[in-house]
Structure 1
Amino acid sequence: MKYNITFILLFITTLAFGQQITYSGWKEEAKTEIRLLPKYGNAIKTKEQKASDQELIQTYLKQAGTNRKASELLVKLGFDYLYKQDLKTAMYRFNQAWLLDPTNENVFWGFGAIYFSFGDFESGMYQYDEGLKLNPNSSNILTDKATVYMTRFMKSNSDKDFNLAINHFKKSYSIDSKNQNTLFKMSACYFVKKDCDNAWKYYNECKELGGRPITKEYTEALTRSCKR
């Protein structure tokens, strides 16, 4: 069982690698473009920028009805762009979502996903933790935080990293046992550890819910290595 293959199986359905800008390019551009920084880099905005913000807020409030609903709409748009590998537009939308509702934990889920896509796991983890301060029971953020730990485990082979990953997955699962992303990744985690019983358990639960994140390659690897 090769970890590099499992790594691909574990994360390919979640993250948009192959982005259209390098991380060094992103950081250079962010020096003058506050929209590429979470919460606009906490910058002091100009009169014109503030007016533009208010126009945006009113536009989305008319469309969605409440600040929270408008914020969630923008978060969804952000992830749509993330999956299309357009990370810059994704970040614009996540920042707009924050503008509509700074208490929306899913905004920080989006911020974290941006940094995760660049491989900056430390910054990603910081954003996930910010989101969990707002909602400690966010299944989506807990699962993605677990993914950070699992990524570290792939490099360190440390039981500590693996245990942190599986504990976060378990907490996420206890909150939402029908989160297919969580189920698939839990199966893959146990697969890495050659715990076939649990690998099949969470695989089957994911499959029963539709199996959306499951790849053909993972099914073949699980079937081959964990014969029943």
Structure 2
Amino acid sequence: MKNILIPCALLFAFLVTTPAQAQRKSKSKSKTESVATTITAASRVQPLFGGLSAAQAEQALGATYLGNIQKSFASRTEASDFFATKGFEYLNEGQIDTATYRLNLAWVLNPKNPLPYRGLGVIASQQPTPDASIDLLNQALALAPNDNQALSDLGSLYLIRYEQTKKKKDLSTSTDFLNKALAADSTNATAWQQLARVYYIQEDYAKAWNAVHQGQKYSVASIDFNFISELIAKQPDPQGTFK
């Protein structure tokens, strides 16, 4: 299955973030913290600076650099919101590297902000497997459990994983996330279309058509006409809309 619906996540409505996470200083540095961490030209455009912890990334960026950024805002939380918003704007424009760096900054400024994880999860979905994207979106969901868009994207990603692994657990996890997304917002067209795919895999074509039409009702743009052709081959559209 092609990952065709993930880009809908670029239209996410932005959530109100939680207060910035307090940084605790330990009396003794751990082995990883004692080693100087640097951000390379390559890692600056990778999610979470290539897998650094927030503390490592803050150390690598430097207090002076982050302090200069924060001067323009009332708080680190506000600065994080700003860079997350800019990150999504660049993501919408297809400027992936710039979007990644802005979202990375938003994450360092406030590790409790779900938006950077969500945006970086969208970016990571370009990788051959959805594992990294799933991990990032799970972190976003941990901070915003009722975010129907994150739930929907996780449902989509587990469906992609199922296509790769053929493990029933991945399919059931996908179904759970998609149903939760629709419980949170029944107008989520992406979730409806992805649920249609689940029903198609389960050979429940009547339910697949119903899900397609539910999604169509809220957004025609959500329809994948290649999938519609596959579904028609199994069972004609009961409503006669698609032929």
Decide: shared fold, TM above 0.5. Answer: yes
Q: Which residues in structure 2 correspond to 1:21-60 (within 5 Å)?
A: 32-33=40-41, 34-40=43-49, 41=52, 42-45=56-59, 49-59=62-72
Q: Is the 8 A contact 1:131 1:141 kept in 2?
A: yes
In structure 2, the residue matched to 1:178 is 187
Number of the residue aligned with 2:241: none
Q: Of the two structures, which has the highest relative contact order with CA contacts closer than 8 Å and spacing of 6 or more?
A: 1
What does 1:195-214 align with in structure 2 at a 5 Å threshold? 195-214=204-223
Question: Given that residues 142 and 171 in structure 1 are in contact (C-alpha distance below 8 angstroms), is that contact kept between their aligned partners in structure 2?
Answer: yes
Q: How many residues align?
A: 201
Match of residue 4 from structure 2: 12
C-alpha separation in 2, matches of 1:130 and 1:185? 22
- Contact 2:197/2:208 (CA < 8 Å) preserved in 1? yes
Q: What amino acid does structure 2 have at the position aligned with 1:175?
A: A
Deviations 1:3-34 (A, max 9, x none): xxxx12xx224259xxxxxxxxxxxxx96234
Q: Aligned pair in 2 of structure 1 residues 188, 50: CA closer, same or farther (>3 Å)?
A: same
**Equivalent of 2:114 in 79, 94, 105:** 105
Residue of structure 1 in register with 2:235 after alignment: 226
Amino acid at match of 1:53: L
Q: Structure 2: how far apart are the matches of 1:58 and 1:216?
A: 49
Q: Which has the higher helix share?
A: 1
Q: Equivalents in 2 of 1:225, 1:188: separation in Å? A: 13
Aligned with 2:162 (options 141, 148, 153): 153
**Conserved? CA contact 1:184–1:214, under 8 Å:** yes
Partner in structure 2 of residue 116 of structure 1: 125
For the pair 1:80 / 2:80, whether they are aligned, the reply is no
Residue 174 of structure 1, CA deviation: 0.7
Q: CA deviation at 1:167?
A: 1.0
Gaps of 5+ in 1: 1-6, 17-29
2-side partners of 1:43 and 1:97: how far apart? 11
User: Do the aligned residues in 1 keep the contact of 2:58 with 2:108 (CA within 8 Å)?
Assistant: no
CA shift for structure 1 position 175? 0.9
- Alignment correspondent of 1:166: 175
Residue identity (%): 19
Structure 2's unaligned 5+ residue stretches are 9-37, 239-243
Segments of 4+ moved more than 6 angstroms: none
The AA in structure 1 aligned to 2:210 is K
SS at match of 1:212: helix
User: Over aligned residues, Cα RMSD in angstroms?
Assistant: 3.0
The 5-angstrom pairing of residues 89-100 of structure 1 reads 89-100=98-109
Q: Which amino acid aligns with 1:70?
A: F
**Higher Cα radius of gyration:** 2
TM-score w.r.t. structure 2 length? 0.69
TM-score w.r.t. structure 1 length? 0.73
For the 8 Å contact 1:71–1:100, the answer to whether it is kept is no
For 1:56 and 1:181, how far apart are their aligned partners in 2? 36
Deviation at 1:106, TM superposition (A): 2.2
